[in-house]
């Protein structure tokens, strides 16, 4: 099966003139900047609430003032509470752009500017966080002294959520051919020290996706907590080997400045070095928290995207071509807005350089029961995850467990459960 054989969405067929079609999500894409500006919003709300409570003796304002430290946990609240609720409320999107307008939409630079803006906001927010972690006098915010330890940790997780979504921004930019976008991708990855993703994802994951050789493709029966170290370590090793091989073919040393793993890490060294130089070594624990949490969000999404899916081998012994059947999709509009259509994952794998605004949703691709934001939480709880997802994997393969990518350590047990000999 090829992408050309996929049934075209017909949601626009009642439009007599495709050129009259307008992207109803056009200005909604600006909402994707909320994660990178959430710290600004939180600070404004904290300062405003504390100022009002100080000037007006009102019981409600006093309660709100007492709750203002919660606002520094805005990132986890967005990921685990607000987005899942909005996904349920607004539901799936279901609309695809007409084929006739794809090129025009692809070349509309407005969409590029929406995603470009994420990176400077991301970096500025990180420096603001550095200041808040280190400041001993935040009276202008309405606090006596600096932030409490709980607020600092909450801020670290909020910044980490921004960095995790920033990796997705880097993912969108890193697939493009323009030099500016590829360097902007490395800048977005600097916060989480995950610059090697730039290489491994493009040249590793997209080649080996939905095969046992891909560290970023999760297996049936594999918990997220087992997948996380495998994917982190496997992706790191793979990126180094891929770049070592490329440079060797070009007659260059691994340490050559053109090494895209090393120069991506250099962004992180400069960024973290600047933060530590300005705000002191005391912020290092919070930098580590945000970095680890940020890339763990990416790996949670990796876990969702290909769970249990397997490309079969052909008569020649090669894996079949990657098709829309090898990625889990979701068309829930709210998470798609925040993740730049990442949930239309099958079309992305079929067309890696295609820009986010023209990615399509297909009924033929396997679909998750909800958006990524909801599924992330389920992934943390393996029994719940397996109850929700294992039967969907089997249904996708018409009940044939032998076609499923199974966790090797559990293979015999799983095959026995379904009365299949190993």
Residues of the chain whose pLDDT is less than 70? 1-19, 421-422
- Strand-pairing partners, residue 406, are 220
The pLDDT tens digits for 117-166 are: 999 999 999 999 999 999 999 999 999 899 999 999 999 999 999 999 99
Q: How many CB atoms lie within 10 A of CB 411?
A: 16
Q: How far apart are CA 250 and CA 248, in angstroms?
A: 5
Q: How far apart are CA 67 and CA 70, in angstroms?
A: 6
Note the pLDDT of residue 344: 94
Nearest residue to 343 via CA among 311, 375, 386: 375
Note the pLDDT of residue 302: 97
Note the pLDDT of residue 251: 95
Nearest residue to 112 via CA among 192, 19, 46, 184: 184
Output the CA–CA distances (angstroms, integers) from residue 279 to 47, 137, 251, in the order listed. Answer: 22, 14, 42
Note the pLDDT of residue 19: 63
Q: What angle do CA 362, 377, 73 make, to 5 degrees?
A: 120
Note the pLDDT of residue 7: 40
pTM of the model: 0.92
Note the pLDDT of residue 60: 87
Q: How far apart are CA 150 and CA 282, in angstroms?
A: 15
Q: Where are the domains of the chain?
A: 3-417
């Amino acid at each position: 099966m090829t992408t050309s054989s996929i049934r075209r969405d017909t949601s626009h067929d009642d439009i007599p003139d495709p050129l009259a079609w307008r992207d109803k999500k056009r200005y909604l894409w600006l909402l994707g900047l909320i994660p990178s500006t959430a710290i600004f919003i939180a600070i404004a709300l904290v300062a405003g609430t504390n100022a009002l409570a100080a000037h007006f003796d009102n019981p409600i304002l006093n309660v709100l003032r007492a709750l203002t430290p919660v606002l520094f946990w805005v990132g986890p609240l967005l990921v685990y509470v607000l987005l899942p609720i909005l996904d349920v409320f607004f539901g799936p999107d279901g609309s695809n752009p007409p084929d006739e307008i794809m090129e025009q939409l692809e070349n509309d630079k407005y969409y590029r500017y929406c995603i470009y803006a994420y990176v400077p906001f991301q970096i500025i927010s990180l420096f603001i966080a550095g200041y808040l972690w280190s400041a001993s006098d935040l009276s202008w915010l309405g606090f006596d002294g600096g932030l409490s330890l709980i607020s600092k940790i909450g801020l670290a997780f909020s910044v980490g959520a921004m960095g995790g979504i920033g990796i997705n921004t880097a993912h969108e930019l890193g697939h493009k051919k323009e030099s500016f976008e590829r360097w902007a991708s490395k800048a977005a990855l600097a916060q989480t020290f995950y610059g090697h993703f730039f290489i491994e994802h493009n040249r590793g994951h997209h080649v080996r996706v939905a095969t046992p050789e891909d560290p970023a493709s999760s297996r049936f029966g594999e918990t997220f907590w087992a997948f996380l170290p495998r994917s982190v370590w496997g992706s790191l090793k793979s990126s180094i080997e891929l770049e070592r091989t490329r440079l060797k073919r070009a007659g260059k040393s691994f340490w050559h400045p053109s090494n895209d793993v090393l120069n991506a890490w250099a962004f992180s060294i400069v960024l973290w070095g600047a933060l530590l130089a300005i705000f002191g070594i005391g912020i290092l624990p919070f930098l580590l928290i945000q970095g680890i949490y940020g890339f763990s969000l990416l790996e949670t999404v990796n876990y969702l995207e290909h769970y249990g899916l397997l490309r079969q081998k052909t008569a020649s012994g090669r894996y079949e071509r990657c098709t829309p059947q090898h990625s889990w999709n979701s068309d829930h509009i709210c998470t798609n807005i925040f993740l730049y259509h990442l949930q239309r994952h099958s079309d992305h794998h079929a067309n890696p350089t295609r820009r986010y605004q023209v990615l399509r949703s297909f009924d033929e691709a396997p679909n998750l029961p909800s958006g990524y934001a909801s599924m992330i939480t389920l992934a943390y709880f393996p029994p719940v995850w397996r109850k929700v997802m294992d039967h969907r994997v089997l249904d996708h393969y018409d009940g044939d467990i032998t076609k499923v990518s199974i966790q090797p350590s559990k293979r015999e047990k799983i095959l026995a459960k379904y009365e299949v000999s190993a």
